[in-house]
A and B are shown apart, each in its own frame.
Chain A
Amino acid sequence: MDLTFSPEEEAFRREARAWLEANKPAADERGEEPRQRAEFDRRWQRAMFDAGWAGINWPTEYGGRGASLMEQVIWYEEFARAKAPEPTTLFVGLKHGGPTLMACGSDEQKSFHLPKILSGEVVWCQGFSEPGAGSDLAGLQTRAVIDGDDLVVSGQKIWTSFGDIAQYQELLVRTDPEAPRHKGISWVICPMDAKGMEIRPIRTMAGHEEFCEVFYDEVRIPRANVVGAINDGWKVAMSTLSFERGTAFLSEQVRLAQLVDALVELARETPLESSPQRQVALEDEHIARRLAQCTAEVEALRAMTYRSVSRTARTGMPSAEGSLIRLFFSELQQRVCRLAMDILGSRILRWDVPRGEWDWVFHYLLVFSSTIAAGTKEIQRNIIGERILGLPR
């Protein structure tokens, strides 16, 4: 048991820090409009890729650095420390589409797609959820009929983040409607410019556009785009979800520590409306204790993250305990943002004012999704209960 980093890891950290300081773009150049954001993210990802900082723990054959998961974590720590902007529109490709291809894709699929994903050339999106199949993903109905060398897809997906700006989609379709639910599904790479697709953005409760409805009307996708075997897509999807739940949120976990530090600063300088003398929030006993609790919990989160990375280093697998961390993290993130609202007071009610570096109100709205997306907190609790603790279904 050890809390120190090896000399190689320390050297890696110093190098990463220096490079980020010199090269990170300013986050406020990113803009709000999705296409503009994607353009920014792709340029920034390309810069990281060219300098050898993309895909720290991706194998070198796919353009990655071939380093350890611990170094990936160190990179995220430095990334958060530098307040470098997260290329969020590239999330699906980098954090679960790419890793899924590595685990289950054919050689042609890997060599064609992985370098494009890593270099930021393409945006990917995820077409799993449907109006009738959210938590119960295996209930999905979007049909694919095999016709010669093509799959012909008809149906609808929903909540597809970045669907309007993506070039590719990890798409789950039903290829055998007669088979049991989990047996007739296939995982397909769908080019978003295929004929017969219609994409309609959906406005979120935070007022911005992030996810879409996607309609498929006899869309032809080459059969060669199926990842894994036809009808074996559930297994491939489980691999996608294991990355989504295991390692995809590492950078967010690391970033939360930064957010809590910022919250302490906010509490130090914000006079509290409910205080008769308008003392700053940090002087208020109730607020200060909640803040202290958050700092303690975010430190535990960091220890949990290191522990799961240590575990992964032993076993070589994303650990199932990822669901424990994901659940704790998502609820903690919500407590942190809720506390920010209590510190800010009634000024949060006005929307048409500059919202500052941390954009607390927008953040507060945004994190309502963190206990819904990638498996709701109820589904996470089912997974912990059934797969980690072994309780009956």
Chain B
Amino acid sequence: MDLMQSQEQDAIQETVRSFLGKQLSLEKTRRWAEGDAAEGLDDVWREAGSLGFFALALEETAGGSGFSLTEEMILFNELGRSLAPGPWLGSVLAARVLGGAERAAVVDGSLPCALVTIRDADRFEVEGGRVRAQLSQVADAASARALLVYDAADWYLVRRDASWEIASQRSLDPTRVLSSLTCDSECAVVARGESARSLALTATILSCAEAVGGIERTVEMSVEYGKVREQFGQPIGSFQAVKHRCADMAVRAEVARSATIYATIALRDGVANAAHHVAVAKLLCADAYLQNGADNIQNHGGMGFTWECDAHLYMKRAHGFDHAFGPRATQLEALVAELRA
């Protein structure tokens, strides 16, 4: 039993953090959010590929590093901490389910895959190896060369072709660009049945890992500000109303982190009730992220209400996270069903 990172895992964390600090800093992400997409994601993606980030959990014979889901969890912690944009999750999942040259392209960073989960308002009609799709709120579509689509039953891969029409939509979360997308393209099923369900659990837990990084960052931000901002002649962090809010934020972060690590290892090792642990983690991470996101704004006062302060970005990410792979109510219902069974 060991729920702490090893030294090797610390080293992976360090590598990812310094890469993101250089290549995908929050300032850079903000510039993109303001519409300055000139720099594009292509170079970043290739470098991430050359560092092996899309293939941490693949066997070495498949072009990977022979690590596992726990190391991917660390990657996503860091992505979430810095609110890194880009189709990370779709690419990491695609590297798992594709084979041959396609997989190699995902792994080396030349085939970024955006993840799409079909919503009620979407159209996604598959027939005879083709799909006619009309999608809304697709994240990272512009930089994607393919879509990895989950329709709550099966997973599909849709390669980009001339039929794609992408129009950007304004997004609540400026660090996560959304678009509408229509296409009439070739489409292949890449996972179904048990393996589709297992891929969905992997997707869910990695988004929890991403949330954990953001949740921990909200605690850091509040604590840093609490030490330097002075009112009434003293740092605001010395006021208990602020200090105790920070303490509660820290507790929530530890709850979210512990539940996520536990579920990640359970899933990695194929523990029988891993799906249950994933639901627990998803519920508690969403509780923690939404509340910490809001508290972090409050701790920053008027500054917290500005566009310039990063606090709102984490709060907005929290909402996006809540809606990915089932909001809190869905997770609670799943747990309720288990209790009633």
Q: Which residues of A contact B (CB under 8 A)?
A: 1-5, 9, 70, 264, 267, 282-283, 288-289, 291-293, 295-297, 299-300, 302-304, 306-307, 309-311, 313-314, 321, 324-325, 327-328, 378, 380-382, 384-386, 388-393
A-B contact pairs, 10 of them (CB 8 A): A1-B5, A70-B1, A288-B339, A304-B258, A327-B247, A382-B244, A389-B223, A389-B246, A392-B226, A392-B237
Q: How far is the CB of B76 from chain A (nearest CB, A)?
A: 15
Using A299-B280, A390-B227 as known contacts, say yes or no to A282 and B339 having CB atoms under 8 A apart: yes
Q: Which of B243, B250, B284 meets A300, CB within 8 Å?
A: B284
B2 touching A2 by the CB < 8 A rule?
yes
Q: Which of B1, B223, B255, B280 meets A2, CB within 8 Å?
A: B1
A1 touching B2 by the CB < 8 A rule?
yes
Which chain A residues lie closer than 8 Å to B70 at the CB level?
A: 1
A310 touching B2 by the CB < 8 A rule?
yes
CB of B332 within 8 Å of the partner chain: yes
Q: Which of A303, A328, A381, A390 meets B240, CB within 8 Å?
A: A381
CB of B131 within 8 Å of the partner chain: no
A309 touching B238 by the CB < 8 A rule?
no
B219 touching A392 by the CB < 8 A rule?
no
A378 touching B251 by the CB < 8 A rule?
no
CB of B101 within 8 Å of the partner chain: no
Q: How far is the CB of A126 from chain B (nearest CB, A)?
A: 25
Most B Cβ at <10 Å: residue of A2, A296, A381 = A296
Which chain B residues lie closer than 8 Å to A302 at the CB level?
A: 262
CB of B265 within 8 Å of the partner chain: yes
Which chain B residues lie closer than 8 Å to A5 at the CB level?
A: 1
Which chain A residues lie closer than 8 Å to B1 at the CB level?
A: 2-5, 9, 70, 306, 309-310
A389 touching B277 by the CB < 8 A rule?
no
Which chain B residues lie closer than 8 Å to A328 at the CB level?
A: 251, 254-255
Q: How far is the CB of A320 from chain B (nearest CB, A)?
A: 11
Q: Which of B6, B266, B339 meets A3, CB within 8 Å?
A: B266
CB of B116 within 8 Å of the partner chain: no
B336 touching A289 by the CB < 8 A rule?
yes
Using A1-B265, A3-B269, A299-B259 as known contacts, say yes or no to A292 and B336 having CB atoms under 8 A apart: yes
CB of B271 within 8 Å of the partner chain: yes
Q: Is the interface of B mostly helix, strand, loop or mixed?
A: helix
- Rounded to whole angstroms, the CA-CA distance of A267 and B332 in the bound complex is 16
CB of B4 within 8 Å of the partner chain: yes
Given A289-B332, A392-B226, output 17 extra A-B contacts at Cβ < 8 Å: A1-B6, A4-B269, A5-B1, A288-B336, A292-B335, A293-B332, A300-B259, A300-B262, A300-B280, A300-B284, A324-B251, A328-B255, A378-B244, A381-B247, A382-B240, A386-B243, A389-B223
- Rounded to whole angstroms, the CA-CA distance of A391 and B228 in the bound complex is 10
A3 touching B247 by the CB < 8 A rule?
no
Q: Is the interface of A mostly helix, strand, loop or mixed?
A: helix
CB of B234 within 8 Å of the partner chain: yes
Q: Which residues of B contact A (CB under 8 A)?
A: 1-6, 9, 70, 219, 223, 226-227, 234-235, 237-238, 240, 242-244, 246-248, 250-251, 254-259, 261-262, 264-266, 269, 271, 277, 279-280, 283-284, 332, 335-336, 339-340
A292 touching B339 by the CB < 8 A rule?
yes
Which chain B residues lie closer than 8 Å to A283 at the CB level?
A: 340
B244 touching A385 by the CB < 8 A rule?
yes
- Rounded to whole angstroms, the CA-CA distance of A2 and B254 in the bound complex is 18
B244 touching A282 by the CB < 8 A rule?
no
Q: Which of A282, A297, A389, A391 meets B340, CB within 8 Å?
A: A282
Which chain B residues lie closer than 8 Å to A384 at the CB level?
A: 246-247, 250-251
A392 touching B255 by the CB < 8 A rule?
no
A264 touching B238 by the CB < 8 A rule?
no
Which chain A residues lie closer than 8 Å to B269 at the CB level?
A: 3-4
A392 touching B227 by the CB < 8 A rule?
yes
Most B Cβ at <10 Å: residue of A293, A297, A378, A385 = A385
Q: Which of B3, B238, B242, B264 meets A307, CB within 8 Å?
A: B3
A303 touching B259 by the CB < 8 A rule?
yes
Closest-by-CB residue of B relative to A313 is B2
Closest-by-CB residue of A relative to B74 is A1
B283 touching A310 by the CB < 8 A rule?
no
A393 touching B238 by the CB < 8 A rule?
yes
Closest-by-CB residue of B relative to A304 is B258
Closest-by-CB residue of B relative to A292 is B335
- Rounded to whole angstroms, the CA-CA distance of A357 and B237 in the bound complex is 46
- Rounded to whole angstroms, the CA-CA distance of A386 and B226 in the bound complex is 11
Using A288-B336, A392-B238 as known contacts, say yes or no to A299 and B277 having CB atoms under 8 A apart: yes
Closest-by-CB residue of B relative to A331 is B251
Q: How far is the CB of B314 from chain A (nearest CB, A)?
A: 17
Which chain B residues lie closer than 8 Å to A311 at the CB level?
A: 4
- Rounded to whole angstroms, the CA-CA distance of A123 and B164 in the bound complex is 77
Q: How far is the CB of A76 from chain B (nearest CB, A)?
A: 14
Closest-by-CB residue of A relative to B264 is A1
A391 touching B243 by the CB < 8 A rule?
yes
B258 touching A307 by the CB < 8 A rule?
yes
A321 touching B3 by the CB < 8 A rule?
no
Q: Which of B3, B237, B243, B265 meets A381, CB within 8 Å?
A: B243
